[in-house]
Amino acid sequence: MAEDSPCNRIFRVHLDPNSLAATTAEYEHERRVAIYDLLQENKFQPASDVQGPFKLRLSILDRRLVLDIARKDDVPVKRHLLSLSPFRRIIRDYFLICESYYDAIRNAPPERIEAIDMGRRSLHNEGSELLLARLEGKVEMDFNTARRLFTLLCSLHRGQSV
């Protein structure tokens, strides 16, 4: 992937509203920040000769993450479906530690908040690495892009646990 190419990037992301989980203000804020950061800086290139920039639509269908990739002119490039099974434990644990983190922010001393946040970041990195591995050979992206997409993956489900 050409590292600095303005074509190898996502310029718009859409989350399927039917796949979005009920949320709290904290999770909604995380989702908005992830989208903003993703659109500001990302490296994303489907395994094809098609040049971007790309539109990315994320949804959940039959317990699979769906990545619909299209060109700027809405011509479809590729659709990838990833089983959510390998992500279940990480997402479940990530949500649990996020709840602890948000509670700690309100009540705990700084060293406790820091310790929980380190665990939260570690799980987030683990999920991002898994996403990179599951998309290997399908989509090339950098780690920061994978981290932001993992945050968005955590935002999606159909009201049932992943």
- Answer yes or no: are the C-beta atoms of 90 and 123 closer than 8 Å: yes
Residue 162 lies in a domain: no
Residue 2 lies in a domain: no
Residue-number span of the structural domain to which 38 is assigned: 10-155
Residue 47 lies in a domain: yes
Share the mean pLDDT of the chain.
Answer: 89
Paired strand residues for 21: none
Q: How confident is the model at residue 160 (pLDDT cuts 50, 70, 90)?
A: very low
Residue 5 lies in a domain: no
Q: How many Cα neighbours within 13 Å face the side chain of 29? A: 5
Which range has highest mean pLDDT (5-9, 22-26, 156-160)?
5-9
**CA 57, CA 26: separation in Å to the nearest integer?**
23
Q: Count structural domains, the chain.
A: 1
- Convert the pLDDT of each residue in 13-44 to its tens digit: 999 988 887 777 887 888 899 999 999 999 99
Q: Going by DSSP bridges, is the β-strand pair 76-83/64-71 parallel, antiparallel, or unpaired?
A: antiparallel
Residue 107 lies in a domain: yes
Query: pTM for the whole thing?
Result: 0.88
- Convert the pLDDT of each residue in 79-113 to its tens digit: 999 999 999 999 999 889 988 888 898 989 999 99
Using the predicted structure, report yes or no on whether residue 161 has a pLDDT greater than 60: no
How close are the terminal C-alpha atoms of the chain, in Å? 32
Using the predicted structure, report yes or no on whether residue 1 has a pLDDT greater than 60: no
Residue 68 lies in a domain: yes
Using the predicted structure, report yes or no on whether residue 77 has a pLDDT greater than 60: yes
Residue 138 lies in a domain: yes
Lowest mean pLDDT among 5-19, 56-70, 77-91: 5-19
